[in-house]
Amino acid sequence: MALELYLDLHSQPCRSVYTFAKLANIPFEFKAVDLASGENYGEGFGKVSIIRKLPVLKDGAFILTESTAILQYLVQKYSTPDHWYPADLQKRARVDEYLSWQHTNIRAHGSKVFWFRGVLPAVTGAQVAKEKMDSALEDLNMSLKLFEEKFLQDRPFIVGDKISLADLVAIVEIMQPVATGLDVFEGRPALSAWRDRVKKEIGVGLFDEAHNVIMNVASLSQTFANKGLPEALKSRIIKMFN
């Protein structure tokens, strides 16, 4: 039975899993789940995962949630090259360190900027208040500064000379606010050079394929505007504006 991956490429964690699986030549069946229409809250998906979040891996009767756990599972099941998730204890710990940090930093702050700049104005017909936007951008900029100074430093990649899962997850997250037209690389030559190295390692074709959907943020906004927001998202949006 083929490995199944339940994904929506609007989601950063889903793009990380998708990109890695394609890059590592891991055979899988793409199971599309439309987050914009709330398909993850439907009865069908509920039989796959009661958590109702993406991505989800289904390997026979085995079901796994959480993108970092899925990435680590794929690395070990398919014996991918060591640089992705090094056997060396300290190098692996560096990858784990970033994967643990990113959820409440670059991922969270990049997502907020994405919603504030790219989606909510189209859906609500109103601009996010300037002080909220400024605060969101400040948080994102602080995360990017920490990423450069703490995780990247003067190395080609986070763990050293070779790309790892940490770099893959990081670039996917950073591209989220970029999709709104925000150039987070301006004035950051080290970050720009790192981006180019990561993109080269992934391959321009696959990189663009994985990000094609998110770069068309206007289409996503129109989808929300036409269909309305799933009830589960409304409370999140209220919290963002309050």
Contact in structure between 54 and 6 (CB atoms under 8 Å): yes
Angular region, 229: left φ>0, alpha ψ -120 to 50, beta rest: beta
pLDDT confidence of residue 127 = 85
User: Distance between CA atoms of 69 and 242, rounded to whole angstroms?
Assistant: 33
Q: Which CATH number, 2.40.50.100, 3.40.50.1370, 1.10.10.10, 1.20.1050.10, labels domain 89-241?
A: 1.20.1050.10
Architecture of domain 4-84: 3-Layer(aba) Sandwich (3.40)
Domain(s) of CATH 1.20.1050.10: residues in the chain:
89-241
Helix (H) or strand (E) run with residue 64 in it: strand 62-65
pTM greater than 0.85 = yes
pLDDT confidence of residue 2 = 85
Q: How do the pLDDT tens digits run along the chain, 242 residues long? A: 689 999 999 999 999 999 999 999 999 999 999 988 889 888 999 999 999 999 999 999 999 999 999 999 999 999 999 999 999 999 999 999 999 999 999 999 999 999 899 888 777 777 889 999 999 999 999 999 999 999 999 999 999 999 999 999 999 999 999 999 999 999 999 999 999 999 999 999 999 999 998 887 666 666 666 666 666 665 665 565 55
Nearest CA-CA partner of 162 in 139, 194, 191: 194
pLDDT confidence of residue 215 = 86
pLDDT confidence of residue 37 = 81
Q: In a 3-state reduction of DSSP, which class is residue 68?
A: helix
Contact in structure between 2 and 26 (CB atoms under 8 Å): no
pLDDT confidence of residue 119 = 80
Domain(s) of CATH 3.40.30.10: residues in the chain:
4-84
Neighbouring-strand partners of residue 5? 30, 57
User: Distance between CA atoms of 154 and 233, rounded to whole angstroms?
Assistant: 40
Contact in structure between 206 and 22 (CB atoms under 8 Å): yes
Find out whether the peptide bond into 55 is cis, omega within 30 degrees of 0.
yes
Nearest CA-CA partner of 217 in 190, 180, 169: 180
